[in-house]
Structure 1
Amino acid sequence: MRGMTRGQGARLSLASLTGLVLAFAGPPAPSYAAPSGFLVEVTLETVTFQQLSDCALLDGCPDAEMYGSFYGQTLKTDGGPGTSRVRNIGKWGKGCEFGLAWTYGFAGQCPVGISDNLWNDYHEYKFADRLMCSSHTYKFCESAYSKANNTFLLTVRPGERIKVAAHTRDYDADSAHDDICFTEKSTGPLTASALAQLDRKDRLKQGFNGDGSCEVAFTLRTVGTA
């Protein structure tokens, strides 16, 4: 058998070396598809009312019997509405004989008694302490009223926005119901990178409109992928 030429030996050595490098490097890293959506946890933290006016100007009346809705919603890339998650206090447009205290553990269908921070001591109402029902609409409940029902999940896709909103009214048996907290705020559009790292505290704010002013604290946090 004839021996290898010098060129053949060089080619063989190069091939052997390449094989060793590949062996030590291991198989190529697998490629992963980017998630189609992210699970964002929306937590309603607190609500305060800087000023309430349930009667004539300068007469005081710094209290109200409140019902209403707080919700989160995705907004699609074209601006259209996506999915909604709603938490209701009381029943929309309905009253009871009197408003119950915020922390009471019964009669969740009734308006809740609230006070402002202008004429009263400072009040910061925690949503976790209030009976609320779950739904996708302000019109009715899809669950029982319960406490610690202040967190819900939204599936958010890259390019979409998240809207958090509040719409509450003061119940009056003998007159029109007044808007005391009617405000919203959008976050985004959110990229995949921003969604993957989302963990922020934010606030809704409404200045005094003649009937009320409010501030709602909430948290947005990504907890997984969809």
Structure 2
Amino acid sequence: MPKYIAREIARSLRNRIDAGEWSESGRLPNERELATQYRVARNTMRSAIDRLAGDGTLVRHVGRGTFLRQDNRGSILKMLHRLSGASPIDVMAVRLILEPRATALAAINANANELRAIAAAYGSSVAALEMEDFERWDAELHLKIVRGTRNELLTHLHEVLCVVARTQEQWRKIKQRTFSMERRHIYCRQHGEIVEALMRRDGEAAATAMRGHLETVRQNLFAGHAL
């Protein structure tokens, strides 16, 4: 279990690094602060940091702290800067390529806990009536499905797409303009079909349901609008 926890913390730290956190200073909080944030023992946090130091993401300097690698910081910032200019239509096009296949993989690879987390996120999205709450749980549901693939690279790619979408003012305005209770009901029904297929471990049905859902979202968001 400690190794699993350390791996999950390492994944979380990498996501925060990819999102640009600590990019200005280049320095992470010390182990004690991070252990407090994640509510784990310091040796567990040390193990998580060791994982990132081992793959070259971080560099330890005795007596000074833990830092992002200079070349890593530069490449990540350049990548995020380029991605931040991607159009919402392009983001949705990439999601249509990645997510149906990811959903099929999740039907095969997700463990029982991950399936329960997917079902819980779906339940929360159904209960969310306000746009902001629904959008948050909608995003969480899609993320948990991709995490169910147990493929870290695919999960990172999806999370980067989410960061790009969330930080775009254009995307936020499109969401506000096109949100309605009728469409929310349609999305909830489609989410339910995806989740049911996942619970049956039916990868083909899950992929088909996800593709249909994303096509509906794309049509609702962009019909009649050239971006």
When the two structures are superposed, what TM-score results if normalisation uses the length of structure 1? Answer: 0.20
Larger radius of gyration: 1
Counting helix residues as a fraction of each chain, which structure ranks higher? 2
> Whose strand proportion is higher, 1 or 2?
1
Higher relative contact order, structure no. (Cα contacts within 8 Å, ≥ 6 residues apart): 1
TM norm structure 2: 0.20
